[in-house]
Amino acid sequence: MSTTEKTGGAPALSKGAAGGSTSGPLSRLARAILMSEQFVLILCALLFVAVLPFVPRIASGGNISNLLSNYWPLLAIAVGQTYVMILGGIDLSQIAVVAVASVLGAAVMTAGVDPVLFERSVLWGWALSDEGGLAAGGWWTVPAGATVMIVSGAVIGAIAGFVIAVFRVPAFMMTLVSLLFFSAVAVWLTRSENVTGLPETFGAIADRGAYGFLSWSMLICGGLAVAAHLLLTRTVFGRWVYATGMNPEAARISGVPVRRVIFWCYVISGVCAAVGALIYSARLEMGRPAFGDNLNLLLDVIGATVIGGTSLFGGRGKILWTAYGVILFVLLSNALNLLNLTYFTVLMVKGGVILAAAWLDVKRRALLGVS
C-alpha cells in the first residue's frame, strides 16, 4: 500500500478500535459516519435541509449561482492551504498574496488610471500612467496580467518556503510576517487606491455561466483542483508530502528531500492564492490592495480546509476533502447571511464551526490510534 493510501484516505478501523464488539447499532453508525470520507458532505446535506424551511430561496437558481461564484476562488486558495497543512504547516500569507497579485496584475492590464490618485504611487511613470499599464491595449493584455499574478504568487510562496525549509523558522511565524509585510507592500504600491480600467475580456472570467457551471471560474479552479489532486495522489512528490507531514525526520532518513518538499509546497500555496486573486479581481473588475486586510477570507480558507478533514497535525488530507469543506463553509456563510444574522454573529458561528472541526479531528485521531 502506498504512503498516500495509508495516510490520505480514511483508514479502516479494527473491530476493537471501532468498538464494534461492545457498542450498539447507533454508536457504530455514528462512528462509521464520523470516519466516512463523505462525513462533511453529509453535514452539507443536513445543513441545507435544516435551513430550507426558514429560507426557501437558498434553493433558488440565483442563489445557487451566487454560491458557486463564491465557491470557485475559495476552493483554489484552499487547495494550496491543503498542501501546507498536510506538511503540518500553515500559510497565513495567502491573503497577502491575493492582494499583491491583484494589484500587480491589474497594474499591467489597466487601460488607464486617474493621475490625481496615482501620481505619487511608486508604479507611476514606469509601470503605470494615464495611458494604461505596460501590457495595455493588445491581445496579450489578459495573458500578461494573469502571468504576472501567478508569478508574483509563486515568488511570495517561494520566499516563505525557503525561510521555513532552510532556517527552520516555524511556519506560523514566517507566514505571519509574510502576511504583514506583503499586505503593506500591496497598499504601498498604489497608495491604497484600487486599480480600475481593466479590459472587459478579463471581467468575463468571473461570468457565472449557467447557474455557476460552465464558467471560466469553474474551468480554471476546477482544473487546478484536479491537477493538485493528481500531483498529490499519483506522483512520488505527493508521497513525499505525506511522508514529510507524518514525520519529517523519519522522511529525511528514508531519503525524502524534506527541504525541497517544504519549499515547493509553499510555492504551490502561493500559486493557488494567485489563482484566487485572478478570480476575485475579475469579479470586482479591479486590483484591490485591501485584500490583505480581509481576515475573513483567511478564516474561510483555513476553516474550510480543516473542516474538510485535513489534519492540523500533518500527514493526512485530500483535495477532495477540501472541496467538501469549501462547500460546507460557503453554504454555511450563505445560510447565515440569508437568515439576516448580524456580522458579529456570523463570525462567532464560523469560529464555533472551526473549533468543532478541530475537536472532530482530535476524536478521529484518537479513534485511529494516531498520537
What rounded mean pLDDT belongs to the chain? 87
Q: Are 186 and 93 in contact (CB under 8 A)?
A: no
Mean pLDDT, residues 244-257 taken together: 95
- Grid coordinates representing 166 are 532552510
Its pTM stands at 0.88
- Grid coordinates representing 307 are 473542516
325-363 pLDDT, tens per residue? Answer: 999 889 988 988 898 888 888 888 878 877 777 777 677
Percent of the chain residues past pLDDT 70, beyond the cut: 90
Mean pLDDT, residues 9-28 taken together: 54
Non-local (6+) Cβ contacts of 256 within 8 A are: 240, 243, 244
What is the Cα–Cα distance from 69 to 303, expressed in whole angstroms? 18
Q: How confident is the model at residue 46 (pLDDT cuts 50, 70, 90)?
A: confident
Non-local (6+) Cβ contacts of 172 within 8 A are: 89, 90, 92
Lowest mean pLDDT among 57-61, 251-255, 270-274: 57-61
Lowest mean pLDDT among 152-156, 233-237, 305-309: 305-309
69-121 pLDDT, tens per residue? Answer: 899 999 999 999 999 999 999 999 999 999 999 999 999 999 988 888 888 88
Give the pLDDT score at 313.
Answer: 85
Mean pLDDT, residues 223-246 taken together: 96
Q: Is the pLDDT of residue 17 over 50?
A: no
CB count within 10 Å of CB 210 equals 9
Give the pLDDT score at 184.
Answer: 95
Give the pLDDT score at 235.
Answer: 96
Give the pLDDT score at 10.
Answer: 40
Give the pLDDT score at 16.
Answer: 44
Q: How confident is the model at residue 6 (pLDDT cuts 50, 70, 90)?
A: very low
DSSP 247: -
